[in-house]
Amino acid sequence: MKLLIVESPGKIKKLQDILGAEWRVAASCGHVRDLPNQGYGLEPPDYTLRYTETRPDVLKKLAALAREAEEVFLASDPDREGEAISWHLKDALGLTAYKRVTYTAITSQDVRAGLDSPRDIDMNLVHAQEARRALDRLCGYKVSGPLGRAVREEKMSAGRVQSPAVRIVVERERAIRSFVSTTHYGVELLFEVVENISAGWKAVWLPREGWLDEDQEYFLDQAAAGKIAALRVLDILSCEEKESRTSPPAPFTTSSLQQAASNALKFKPKKTMELAQKLYEAGHITYMRTDSPNLSESAIAEIRAYCDAQGWPLPAKPRTWKSKAGAQEAHEAIRPTHIEVDKVTLEEGKEDFIRDAAALYNLIRLRTLASQLADAVFDVRVARLSGDVDGKQAVFEAKGRTLREPGWKVVMAKDASLADAEESEPDNAVPDLRAGCQATAVQSKVKTKKTKPASRFSEASLIREMEKRGIGRPATYAAIMENIASRAYVKEEKGFLVPTPRGEKLVDALVGTFGFLDLDFTSHMEERLDDVAGGKVSYVECVGEFYSQLMDELGRFVQAHAAPCPACGDREQFRHIRSKEKGWNFWGCKACGATFADDNGRPGPRREKGATELTDFLCEKCGKPLQHLTGTRKDGSGQYDFFACSDKECGAKYDNVDGKPVAHEAPALSEHKCKKCGKPLIPRPTRNGGVWFGCSGFPTCKVRYWGKEDGAPDYDNPPKH
């Protein structure tokens, strides 16, 4: 038996069908080890990551299968994360012999090709993934605590990539708020209206040609615009015809797929990636995490052959695209594995999920087909006209185009992902005019315009902005969108992202102090991670640079924002300790041990040594505040943790249940009596499963009796005091 270990259980059935009975396919269910929840999990100078097992049951099962297998193949996903998962599996399972295999599509051909080309684990890719994990851990764990204390909000978190994303949204919102609109004017003339046949053709005035000063952007004189609109007879200066070509968009990368699905199908990035994952696991599309817009040579050949069979126009040479700077081109763009399949259906899932997966597949397929077709060709006609206004020439332009050869538009008339990035040409039936002649306008309009601020970001446009700035990578975009929304740094209003006061507070606290909020710095760190993956920079060098800078910045941040301990002046170890669940609200210094009452979010009077902080919980018996008492019993028998009334005369006590006081239940009295005072005895369990008896007259009577096997008190033994 040969064992193939993949990441997702969703791939098992498809792969098992491909490989046959001599193979066993099992899944790691993602990462089997991770950094500990408590502590950083790494320390200088070597920053070695300390891992804990997150799926011991999975590892146990895989270890048993590995012992039975003749060969073990590690087939986690073909990216840095997948490489790290394979390394963790090798290390945790103690594999001395293994084969690392990758494929970008779950088809018989691709999987077999991957199995025929095994290799060792690429430790540079593993170190790059570890470096990203280390940077994110350091940023989140080191900065979040001081950040929360500085802005006086609980559970405030900083993120190496998520915080810059919030900054982009905040800065756009503030630009919108501060924007001052300018009212300006334009003129449009309408020519040759033929009733019930033609709406005529239009010409637009060009104020930049002689009517605006060099430093002037808009025409602000409404009266002058009215005079220009009064023109009726205009001289034809020129009329030119030319050809315009529009190339098809590139095949989908992870980012452009998320944008197109958002615009065309109204899917959130997280949903798009979930659907794409299922399509990939079912063998319908290639690997969905990529920033390469290019297809493999074999795929291009198949696509061109299919298009040719349909009679669709093809360019002379296959199309390729220039990747953005820093793109990781380990695998091709997202495409169907079988281009001839026009509709797909997932075998499992809810009806709406299956329907949405089919819609996403259709989007991917049409984009893939269009990418290899010929340009769309337009006939464009541009006419220039002019008229005299008080001795000054007003120049107009009439521009229109007609589709001559549809090219790629035979399969995709409009690509939703380009909806706000491609300027549409006017639909304007400009006639063949002759220079030197005149044209008569039949109508005119002064167009009052107002400048508008840049629009808010949608999730799709924010992803595009992050990609343009080099922030994050394909596998992280959906998670970033999810994080900044779930942590209430941004909210969605009518499909657009709006920063919350909490998000603005986050940005204001971090900008100017921490380098990871600088957008250029964030892009630079992505490049450094790429250098680690390429073996140009070591893991220690990459993480060490970031750590040194972060610690310097953190020190300045703490000095600027943290309150000093009134007793010793320490800022770093002086904390505001609060918990709604446990009723804590005071200031404490680990450096000198002093504690202080809280005074509206700032340290108040010093608490006397031994004094216990009053909680917000009130005594059910007398209504006074309760104290939370914890510590070690004097006899060393264990820890105590309970609530007690601050009024000693009241003396009420409460059990601590999940950080809240709960009244003691009345003890069950037995039928047995105390030999000393005659009061009923109370049975108590012992640690070894037995029983002992205490007097209900405690603390006045402190007699105790051991329990006998029949459950009765042993009166013959001396009482225990």
DSSP string, 122-176: -HHHHHHHHHHHHHHHHHHHHHHHHHHHHHT-TT----TTHHHHHHHHHHHHHHH
Phi-psi region of 300 (alpha: psi -120 to 50; beta: other; left: phi over 0): alpha
Q: What is the pLDDT of residues 214-234, one digit of tens each?
A: 889 999 999 999 999 999 999
Whose CA is closest to 102, among 123, 90, 118, 88?
118
- Rounded Cα–Cα distance for residues 45 and 321 (Å): 43
List 47, 287, 361, 547, catalytic entry: 287
Burial of residue 154 (CB within 10 Å: 0-12, 13-18, 19+) is exposed
The arithmetic mean of pLDDT across residues 358-364, rounded, is 96
Q: 423 falls in which pLDDT band (50, 70, 90)?
A: very low
- Position 417 pLDDT exceeds 60: no
The answer to whether domain 2-121 and domain 149-177+460-561 are alike in fold is no
576 compared with 247, residue with greater pLDDT: 247
Q: What is the pLDDT of residues 87-105, one digit of tens each?
A: 999 999 999 999 999 999 9
Whose CA is closest to 180, among 214, 218, 208?
218
Which region among 102-111, 358-367, 419-428, 563-572 has the lowest average model confidence (pLDDT)? 419-428
Q: Which residues is 343 bridged to in the sheet? A: none
- Position 118 pLDDT exceeds 80: yes
Across 12-48, b (16+ Cβ under 10 Å) vs e yields: bebbeebbeeebbbbbbebbbbbbeeeebbbeeeebe
HEC-encoded secondary structure of 179-202: CCCCEEEEEEEEECCECCCECCEE
Instruction: Supply 151's token pair.
Output: 């802005």
The arithmetic mean of pLDDT across residues 531-554, rounded, is 95
HEC-encoded secondary structure of 258-300: HHHHHHHHCCCHHHHHHHHHHHHHCCCECCCCCCCCCCCHHHH
- pTM (predicted TM-score): 0.77
- Rounded Cα–Cα distance for residues 1 and 21 (Å): 8
Residue tagged 């028998």 (tokens)? 637
Whether 142 contacts 555, CB under 8 Å: no
- Position 636 pLDDT exceeds 60: no
659 compared with 441, residue with greater pLDDT: 441
**Cβ atoms < 10 Å from Cβ of 627:** 18
Whether 154 contacts 59, CB under 8 Å: no
Whether 478 contacts 270, CB under 8 Å: yes
Query: CA 701 from chain center: how many Å?
Result: 64
Amino acid 597: pLDDT? 84
Which region among 197-201, 429-433, 594-598, 681-685 has the lowest average model confidence (pLDDT)? 197-201
Alpha-helical segments (H) within 562-653: none
Which region among 164-168, 265-269, 661-665 has the lowest average model confidence (pLDDT)? 661-665
Q: 348 falls in which pLDDT band (50, 70, 90)?
A: confident
Domain 2-121 belongs in CATH node 3.40.50.140: yes
Q: At what angle do helices 501-510 and 123-151 cross, to 10 degrees?
A: 110
Instruction: Supply 179's token pair.
Output: 């924007």
- C-alpha pair distances (Å), 184 with each of 224, 384, 446, 701: 12, 23, 10, 95
How do beta strands 233-246 and 99-100 pair?
unpaired
- Position 422 pLDDT exceeds 80: no
Query: CA 229 from chain center: how many Å?
Result: 52
Q: What is the pLDDT of residues 544-558, one digit of tens each?
A: 999 999 999 998 998
- Rounded Cα–Cα distance for residues 559 and 150 (Å): 10
Whether 339 contacts 369, CB under 8 Å: yes
Domain 149-177+460-561 in this protein, CATH class: mainly alpha
- Position 34 pLDDT exceeds 70: yes
Amino acid 634: pLDDT? 57
Which region among 22-31, 263-272, 473-482 has the lowest average model confidence (pLDDT)? 473-482
627 compared with 273, residue with greater pLDDT: 273
- Position 646 pLDDT exceeds 70: yes
Whether 98 sits among the annotated catalytic residues: the reply is: no
- Position 213 pLDDT exceeds 80: yes
Whose CA is closest to 160, among 138, 131, 175?
138
- Position 39 pLDDT exceeds 50: yes
- Rounded Cα–Cα distance for residues 513 and 564 (Å): 19
Amino acid 284: pLDDT? 96
- Rounded Cα–Cα distance for residues 121 and 130 (Å): 14
Percent of the chain scoring above 90 in pLDDT: 62
Mean pLDDT of the chain: 89
The arithmetic mean of pLDDT across residues 647-670, rounded, is 80
Domain 254-371 in this protein, CATH class: mainly alpha
575 compared with 364, residue with greater pLDDT: 364
Q: At what angle do helices 123-151 and 80-93 cross, to 10 degrees?
A: 100
- Rounded Cα–Cα distance for residues 302 and 562 (Å): 63
What residue segments make up the domains of the chain, in order of their start? 2-121, 149-177+460-561, 183-245+377-450, 254-371, 574-663, 668-721
Q: What is the pLDDT of residues 449-501, one digit of tens each?
A: 999 999 999 999 999 999 889 888 877 899 999 999 999 999 999 999 999 99
Q: Which DSSP state fits 669?
A: P
Q: 518 falls in which pLDDT band (50, 70, 90)?
A: very high
Q: 570 falls in which pLDDT band (50, 70, 90)?
A: confident
Instruction: Supply 245's token pair.
Output: 């070509």
How do beta strands 681-685 and 660-663 pair?
unpaired
The arithmetic mean of pLDDT across residues 602-624, rounded, is 76
Phi, psi of 468 (to 5 degrees): -65, -35
185 compared with 656, residue with greater pLDDT: 185
- Rounded Cα–Cα distance for residues 257 and 419 (Å): 13
Alpha-helical segments (H) within 470-586: 477-486, 501-510, 519-533, 539-561
The arithmetic mean of pLDDT across residues 436-453, rounded, is 94
- Position 60 pLDDT exceeds 60: yes
Phi-psi region of 70 (alpha: psi -120 to 50; beta: other; left: phi over 0): alpha
CATH code of 183-245+377-450, in short, is 2.70.20.10
The arithmetic mean of pLDDT across residues 108-126, rounded, is 96
- Position 416 pLDDT exceeds 60: no
The arithmetic mean of pLDDT across residues 246-273, rounded, is 93
Whether 543 contacts 528, CB under 8 Å: no
Q: Which DSSP state fits 211?
A: S
Which residue type does 44 have?
P
Amino acid 197: pLDDT? 46
